[in-house]
Homo-oligomer: A and B are copies of this chain.
Amino acid sequence: MQLSTKHLLGIKELEPADISLILQTAAQFKEVLQRPIKKVPSLRDITIVNLFYENSTRTRISFELAEKRLSADTINFSASGSSVSKGETLLDTVNNILSMKVDMVVMRHSASGAPHFLAKHLPNTGIINAGDGINEHPTQALLDAFSIMEKTGGLEGKKVVLIGDIMHSRVALSNIYLLKKMGAEVMVAGPPTLIPKHIREALGVEVSYNVGEALRWCDVANVLRIQLERQNQVLFSSLREYNLAFGISRRLLDSIKKDIVIMHPGPINRGVEIDSDVADGRESIILQQVENGVAVRMAVLYLLAGKKSEAS
């Protein structure tokens, strides 16, 4: 089995068969991660550059762990201390990477479309989008899907609600694409200022402005991180008020009288979008998501490397 693509730019570009293949491969790597020796030689002699133009501790560490457990050589590059401050264009960076004959690039960038631009100019270098602007964060959606399947047995027909700032969330967009492709039903919930108009028609999702209603509807609630810095943009009145209206509290959850799986992509703002007794409660699979992240990223790197060697 092979992926239909040489890059992982977004869930939008994947076939359902690609998604299934990644999730099945991740299940095998998750088994490897339970062993005392978690390292396999699959990507020996492969060089991967982690090109992070935005800070991200957990995503960077998760990718670097995945790379090292596959025995790849890794080079880290972060925006601070980069040619970015010398005003180099992304095109020149791309060309330099191409010239240095790097095998794969994992890229996070604040500009939507940056990894697509990279892929267009580097057809023979595997490009993995680790989050681009407000567009996509495909490995997050894949690990979320893996975690839902692991917990509930499948995606088909499951009802998943994404709660929070849908407007600016690349996690939300990647999740919506993936869940819809795999036959799940999707709802988005949050304050009207943080939900794009016409999202129902554009993406085929349900919309709710009432978090209680959303919870009563769903099997799984994926609670998104509120970007604290958006407070200044008057998209919501205050963190306290957001918590009261849309935060997931124990009292709210217990009032639903239904088993709901609780997810969060992290890092958590405890007491804002989710209370600690929910984040750490029995419904939560937040830490399984982190663990599954390494397995899913190993799967993506492994499959793209196979694609690459086939091409050459």
Complex CA gap A288/B268 in Å reads 45
Q: Does A5 contact B (CB under 8 A)?
A: no
Q: Does A21 contact B (CB under 8 A)?
A: no
Task: For A92, give its contact among B69, B77, B92, B266 (CB under 8 Å).
Answer: B266
Task: For A290, give its contact among B45, B64, B99, B309 (CB under 8 Å).
Answer: B99
Decide yes or no: A312 and B36 within 8 Å by CB, A290-B99, A291-B101 being known contacts.
yes
In the bound complex, residues from chain B placing their C-beta under 8 Å from that of A75 are 61, 64-65, 68
In the bound complex, residues from chain B placing their C-beta under 8 Å from that of A293 are 100
User: Do B68 and A38 touch across chains, with their CB atoms under 8 A apart?
Assistant: no
Query: Chain B interface: which of A79-87, A170-178, A185-193?
Result: A79-87
Least Cβ distance of A38 to chain B in Å? 6
Interface bracket on A: 35 or more
Least Cβ distance of A228 to chain B in Å? 7
Q: Does A33 contact B (CB under 8 A)?
A: yes
Q: Mark A191-215, 1 if CB is under 8 A from B, else 0.
A: 0000000000000000000000000
Least Cβ distance of A144 to chain B in Å? 14
Least Cβ distance of A100 to chain B in Å? 6
In the bound complex, residues from chain B placing their C-beta under 8 Å from that of A100 are 61-62, 65, 290-291, 293-294
Q: A36-B312, A96-B266 are in contact. List 20 more A-B contacts (CB 8 A).
A: A36-B309, A37-B45, A38-B45, A47-B65, A49-B61, A55-B81, A55-B82, A57-B77, A58-B83, A58-B96, A64-B75, A65-B75, A80-B80, A89-B270, A95-B287, A96-B287, A99-B287, A99-B291, A100-B291, A100-B294
Q: Which 6 pairs across A and B sit closest by C-beta, in order of nearness?
A: A99-B290, A88-B267, A99-B291, A57-B83, A99-B287, A57-B82
